Protein backbone atom coordinates (compact mmCIF):
# COMPACT_ATOMS: atom_id res chain seq x y z
CA UNK A 1 0.00 0.00 0.00
CA UNK A 2 1.23 3.49 -0.87
CA UNK A 3 0.02 6.54 1.01
CA UNK A 4 -0.41 9.63 -1.16
CA UNK A 5 0.78 12.46 1.11
CA UNK A 6 -0.73 15.04 -1.23
CA UNK A 7 -4.17 13.43 -0.77
CA UNK A 8 -5.46 11.08 -3.44
CA UNK A 9 -8.80 11.24 -5.21
CA UNK A 10 -11.92 10.09 -3.40
CA UNK A 11 -14.31 7.60 -4.96
CA UNK A 12 -18.04 7.80 -4.47
CA UNK A 13 -18.61 4.09 -4.96
CA UNK A 14 -19.22 2.36 -1.66
CA UNK A 15 -17.17 -0.44 -0.12
CA UNK A 16 -19.76 -3.16 -0.64
CA UNK A 17 -19.87 -2.48 -4.38
CA UNK A 18 -16.10 -2.94 -4.59
CA UNK A 19 -16.43 -6.23 -2.69
CA UNK A 20 -19.01 -7.42 -5.21
CA UNK A 21 -16.73 -6.46 -8.06
CA UNK A 22 -13.90 -8.46 -6.53
CA UNK A 23 -16.18 -11.46 -6.16
CA UNK A 24 -17.21 -11.16 -9.82
CA UNK A 25 -13.59 -11.12 -10.95
CA UNK A 26 -12.64 -14.17 -8.90
CA UNK A 27 -15.81 -16.00 -9.93
CA UNK A 28 -14.73 -15.82 -13.59
CA UNK A 29 -11.50 -17.64 -12.83
CA UNK A 30 -12.63 -21.17 -11.83
CA UNK A 31 -10.44 -23.42 -13.92
CA UNK A 32 -9.05 -26.98 -14.09
CA UNK A 33 -5.31 -26.44 -14.43
CA UNK A 34 -2.04 -27.60 -12.91
CA UNK A 35 0.38 -27.25 -9.99
CA UNK A 36 -0.69 -24.29 -7.79
CA UNK A 37 2.01 -21.87 -6.75
CA UNK A 38 4.56 -23.35 -9.16
CA UNK A 39 5.13 -20.19 -11.21
CA UNK A 40 8.48 -20.28 -12.96
CA UNK A 41 10.98 -17.77 -11.61
CA UNK A 42 13.29 -18.14 -14.62
CA UNK A 43 13.43 -15.29 -17.11
CA UNK A 44 13.43 -15.98 -20.82
CA UNK A 45 11.48 -18.12 -23.22
CA UNK A 46 8.22 -19.76 -22.25
CA UNK A 47 8.61 -23.50 -21.69
CA UNK A 48 6.09 -26.19 -22.43
CA UNK A 49 3.16 -26.52 -19.99
CA UNK A 50 3.51 -28.97 -17.12
CA UNK A 51 1.23 -31.96 -16.63
CA UNK A 52 -2.33 -30.85 -16.08
CA UNK A 53 -4.00 -31.13 -12.67
CA UNK A 54 -7.03 -29.42 -11.07
CA UNK A 55 -6.54 -25.88 -9.71
CA UNK A 56 -9.07 -23.30 -8.61
CA UNK A 57 -9.21 -19.52 -9.01
CA UNK A 58 -6.81 -19.11 -6.08
CA UNK A 59 -4.18 -21.07 -7.98
CA UNK A 60 -4.55 -18.77 -11.00
CA UNK A 61 -4.19 -15.63 -8.85
CA UNK A 62 -1.21 -17.05 -6.97
CA UNK A 63 0.59 -17.99 -10.19
CA UNK A 64 0.03 -14.49 -11.56
CA UNK A 65 1.17 -12.93 -8.28
CA UNK A 66 4.43 -14.91 -8.31
CA UNK A 67 5.17 -13.83 -11.86
CA UNK A 68 4.17 -10.19 -11.36
CA UNK A 69 6.46 -10.02 -8.32
CA UNK A 70 9.38 -11.73 -10.05
CA UNK A 71 9.20 -10.36 -13.60
CA UNK A 72 6.90 -7.39 -13.38
CA UNK A 73 3.36 -7.05 -14.70
CA UNK A 74 4.31 -5.88 -18.18
CA UNK A 75 6.97 -8.53 -18.68
CA UNK A 76 4.54 -11.32 -17.75
CA UNK A 77 2.35 -12.81 -20.45
CA UNK A 78 -0.75 -14.95 -20.25
CA UNK A 79 1.39 -17.71 -21.79
CA UNK A 80 3.76 -17.44 -18.81
CA UNK A 81 0.85 -17.83 -16.41
CA UNK A 82 -0.43 -20.78 -18.39
CA UNK A 83 2.94 -22.52 -18.21
CA UNK A 84 3.04 -21.99 -14.44
CA UNK A 85 -0.37 -23.66 -14.22
CA UNK A 86 0.29 -26.44 -16.70
CA UNK A 87 -1.95 -25.23 -19.51
CA UNK A 88 -1.45 -23.22 -22.67
CA UNK A 89 -1.88 -19.46 -22.35
CA UNK A 90 -4.83 -19.09 -24.75
CA UNK A 91 -6.84 -21.52 -22.62
CA UNK A 92 -6.80 -18.99 -19.77
CA UNK A 93 -9.02 -16.64 -21.77
CA UNK A 94 -11.88 -19.10 -21.38
CA UNK A 95 -11.85 -18.31 -17.67
CA UNK A 96 -10.08 -14.94 -17.23
CA UNK A 97 -10.94 -11.90 -19.29
CA UNK A 98 -7.46 -10.39 -19.11
CA UNK A 99 -4.15 -10.19 -17.31
CA UNK A 100 -5.37 -6.84 -16.03
CA UNK A 101 -8.25 -8.53 -14.19
CA UNK A 102 -5.72 -10.65 -12.31
CA UNK A 103 -3.74 -7.58 -11.25
CA UNK A 104 -6.90 -5.79 -10.18
CA UNK A 105 -8.07 -8.80 -8.17
CA UNK A 106 -4.71 -8.98 -6.37
CA UNK A 107 -4.81 -5.29 -5.44
CA UNK A 108 -8.44 -5.37 -4.34
CA UNK A 109 -7.86 -8.38 -2.13
CA UNK A 110 -4.82 -6.71 -0.57
CA UNK A 111 -6.74 -3.59 0.38
CA UNK A 112 -9.87 -5.43 1.58
CA UNK A 113 -7.69 -7.61 3.82
CA UNK A 114 -5.80 -4.63 5.25
CA UNK A 115 -9.02 -2.74 5.97
CA UNK A 116 -10.65 -5.80 7.57
CA UNK A 117 -7.60 -6.35 9.79
CA UNK A 118 -7.58 -2.72 10.81
CA UNK A 119 -11.27 -2.80 11.74
CA UNK A 120 -10.73 -5.91 13.81
CA UNK A 121 -7.96 -4.15 15.73
CA UNK A 122 -10.13 -1.10 16.38
CA UNK A 123 -13.13 -3.17 17.43
CA UNK A 124 -11.05 -4.85 20.12
CA UNK A 125 -11.63 -1.69 22.14
CA UNK A 126 -9.60 -0.48 25.08
CA UNK A 127 -7.78 2.84 25.50
CA UNK A 128 -6.81 4.75 22.38
CA UNK A 129 -3.15 3.80 22.85
CA UNK A 130 -4.07 0.09 22.79
CA UNK A 131 -6.14 0.56 19.64
CA UNK A 132 -3.32 2.38 17.85
CA UNK A 133 -0.90 -0.34 18.88
CA UNK A 134 -3.31 -2.98 17.56
CA UNK A 135 -3.64 -1.17 14.23
CA UNK A 136 0.13 -0.96 13.86
CA UNK A 137 0.63 -4.61 14.80
CA UNK A 138 -1.92 -5.72 12.19
CA UNK A 139 -0.28 -3.51 9.58
CA UNK A 140 3.18 -4.87 10.31
CA UNK A 141 2.02 -8.49 10.34
CA UNK A 142 0.38 -8.18 6.94
CA UNK A 143 3.47 -6.67 5.34
CA UNK A 144 5.74 -9.29 6.91
CA UNK A 145 3.56 -12.20 5.79
CA UNK A 146 2.42 -10.87 2.39
CA UNK A 147 5.57 -9.38 0.91
CA UNK A 148 4.69 -10.31 -2.68
CA UNK A 149 1.31 -8.58 -2.48
CA UNK A 150 2.87 -5.48 -0.95
CA UNK A 151 5.57 -5.35 -3.61
CA UNK A 152 3.15 -5.77 -6.50
CA UNK A 153 0.72 -3.26 -4.99
CA UNK A 154 3.41 -0.61 -4.63
CA UNK A 155 5.02 -1.14 -8.03
CA UNK A 156 2.16 -1.97 -10.36
CA UNK A 157 -0.73 0.36 -9.51
CA UNK A 158 0.18 2.49 -12.52
CA UNK A 159 -0.75 -0.43 -14.77
CA UNK A 160 -4.40 -0.43 -13.70
CA UNK A 161 -6.91 1.29 -15.95
CA UNK A 162 -7.98 4.66 -14.59
CA UNK A 163 -11.26 3.63 -12.98
CA UNK A 164 -9.72 0.65 -11.19
CA UNK A 165 -6.75 2.71 -10.09
CA UNK A 166 -9.07 5.32 -8.60
CA UNK A 167 -10.95 2.57 -6.74
CA UNK A 168 -7.71 1.27 -5.20
CA UNK A 169 -6.66 4.80 -4.21
CA UNK A 170 -10.04 5.28 -2.54
CA UNK A 171 -9.50 2.13 -0.48
CA UNK A 172 -6.03 3.34 0.46
CA UNK A 173 -7.52 6.65 1.57
CA UNK A 174 -10.02 4.78 3.73
CA UNK A 175 -7.23 2.73 5.27
CA UNK A 176 -5.14 5.80 6.07
CA UNK A 177 -8.14 7.63 7.55
CA UNK A 178 -8.68 4.69 9.88
CA UNK A 179 -5.23 5.26 11.38
CA UNK A 180 -5.59 9.03 11.39
CA UNK A 181 -8.95 8.97 13.17
CA UNK A 182 -7.49 7.01 16.10
CA UNK A 183 -4.54 9.40 16.32
CA UNK A 184 -6.91 12.37 16.21
CA UNK A 185 -9.01 10.84 18.98
CA UNK A 186 -5.88 10.48 21.08
CA UNK A 187 -4.93 14.11 20.45
CA UNK A 188 -8.42 15.33 21.32
CA UNK A 189 -8.39 13.42 24.61
CA UNK A 190 -4.85 14.45 25.54
CA UNK A 191 -3.55 10.89 25.25
CA UNK A 192 -1.35 11.83 22.26
CA UNK A 193 0.57 14.99 21.52
CA UNK A 194 1.35 15.41 17.84
CA UNK A 195 1.18 18.45 15.58
CA UNK A 196 -0.34 16.72 12.55
CA UNK A 197 -2.33 13.48 12.91
CA UNK A 198 -2.30 13.17 9.12
CA UNK A 199 1.49 13.28 8.83
CA UNK A 200 1.79 10.97 11.83
CA UNK A 201 -0.46 8.42 10.14
CA UNK A 202 1.58 8.61 6.93
CA UNK A 203 4.80 8.05 8.91
CA UNK A 204 3.38 5.07 10.78
CA UNK A 205 2.01 3.42 7.64
CA UNK A 206 5.17 4.02 5.63
CA UNK A 207 7.27 2.59 8.45
CA UNK A 208 5.21 -0.60 8.49
CA UNK A 209 5.22 -0.98 4.71
CA UNK A 210 8.99 -1.01 4.75
CA UNK A 211 8.90 -4.35 6.57
CA UNK A 212 7.94 -6.02 3.29
CA UNK A 213 11.24 -4.98 1.71
CA UNK A 214 13.61 -6.54 4.24
CA UNK A 215 11.83 -9.01 6.51
CA UNK A 216 12.69 -12.69 6.11
CA UNK A 217 10.91 -15.49 7.98
CA UNK A 218 14.25 -17.14 8.74
CA UNK A 219 15.81 -13.90 10.02
CA UNK A 220 16.66 -12.96 13.60
CA UNK A 221 13.28 -11.31 14.36
CA UNK A 222 9.93 -13.05 14.57
CA UNK A 223 6.79 -11.37 13.30
CA UNK A 224 5.54 -11.10 16.88
CA UNK A 225 8.74 -9.35 17.98
CA UNK A 226 8.43 -6.89 15.10
CA UNK A 227 4.82 -6.17 16.00
CA UNK A 228 5.81 -5.27 19.55
CA UNK A 229 8.75 -3.11 18.44
CA UNK A 230 6.79 -1.21 15.79
CA UNK A 231 3.83 -0.74 18.12
CA UNK A 232 6.12 0.87 20.68
CA UNK A 233 7.76 3.10 18.06
CA UNK A 234 4.33 4.27 16.86
CA UNK A 235 3.28 5.25 20.38
CA UNK A 236 6.50 7.19 20.83
CA UNK A 237 5.93 8.93 17.51
CA UNK A 238 2.60 10.32 18.73
CA UNK A 239 4.06 11.11 22.17
CA UNK A 240 1.66 8.78 23.93
CA UNK A 241 0.97 9.95 27.48
CA UNK A 242 -0.32 6.56 28.59
The last residue of a domain, from among 96, 127, 143: 96
The last residue of a domain, from among 96, 113, 144: 96
Is 14 a domain residue?
A: no
The last residue of a domain, from among 96, 120, 145: 96
Q: How far is the C-alpha of 124 from the C-alpha of 107, rounded, in Å?
A: 26
All residues at 6 or more sequence positions from 14 whose CB lies less than 8 Å from its CB, including other chains: none
pTM given for the model: 0.77
Let me know how long the chain is.
Answer: 242
Task: Output the CA torsion 23→29→32→38 (10° steps).
Answer: -100
pLDDT higher than 90, residue 186: yes
pLDDT band at 153 (very low <50, low <70, confident <90, very high): very high
Lowest mean pLDDT among 84-93, 134-143, 231-240: 84-93
Domain match, 113 and 78 both: no
The residue segments making up the domain with residue 196 are 100-237
Report the candidate in 214, 238, 241, 6 with the shortest Cα–Cα distance to residue 136.
Answer: 238
Domain match, 157 and 105 both: yes
Q: How far is the C-alpha of 124 from the C-alpha of 126, rounded, in Å?
A: 7
> How many domains are contained in the chain?
2
Is 12 a domain residue?
A: no
pLDDT tens track for 13-61 = 444 444 444 444 444 343 333 333 334 444 445 555 445 556 677 888 9
Is 119 a domain residue?
A: yes
Domain match, 169 and 232 both: yes
Q: What is the pLDDT of residue 120?
A: 97
Domain match, 105 and 220 both: yes
Is 160 a domain residue?
A: yes
Q: What is the pLDDT of residue 53?
A: 58
Domain match, 88 and 104 both: no
Domain harbouring 224, CATH code: 1.10.357.10
- SS3 for 170? helix
Is 21 a domain residue?
A: no
Is 24 a domain residue?
A: no
Is 8 a domain residue?
A: no
Domain match, 110 and 207 both: yes
Lowest mean pLDDT among 30-34, 85-89, 192-196, 231-235: 30-34
Is 37 a domain residue?
A: yes
Amino acid sequence: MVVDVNGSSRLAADHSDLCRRRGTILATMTIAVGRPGSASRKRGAVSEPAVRAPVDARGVVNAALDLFADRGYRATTMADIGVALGIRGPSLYKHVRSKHDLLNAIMLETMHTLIANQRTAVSAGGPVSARLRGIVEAHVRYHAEHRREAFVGNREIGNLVHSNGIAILALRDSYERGVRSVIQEGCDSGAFVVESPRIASYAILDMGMGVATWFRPDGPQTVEALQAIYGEIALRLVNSQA
